[in-house]
Amino acid sequence: MGDGKKTIYFENKTGKLDGVIRFLEDIKDKVGYINLNCTVEGKEIEVNLSGPDDLQALAIERLKALAEKHLEPSKP
């Protein structure tokens, strides 16, 4: 297993700052097992991951679920 870096991008499709804040808070609470750095510019959120590949894969799945929860518009 290698140690590497990956970057994943998300878009705040709700347009609400509150969703971004909740997304970032959940990342802090639920993805503490890998080194990551988040940058927010407008509606774009860039997450840089570094660490073992298996933990990166786990983190990416968790990040996608959190993004769907906080950054996607609610479905009726």
Domain assignment of residue 15, yes or no:
yes
16 - beta bridge partners? none
Instruction: Indicate the pTM of the whole model.
Output: 0.89
- In the chain, pLDDT over 70 holds for what percent of residues? 97
Question: What mean pLDDT is reported for the chain?
Answer: 93
Backbone angles phi, psi at 26, to 5 degrees: -65, -35
For residue 18, the domain's CATH number is: 3.30.70.600
Judge whether 38 lies within some domain: yes
In a domain, 76, yes or no: no
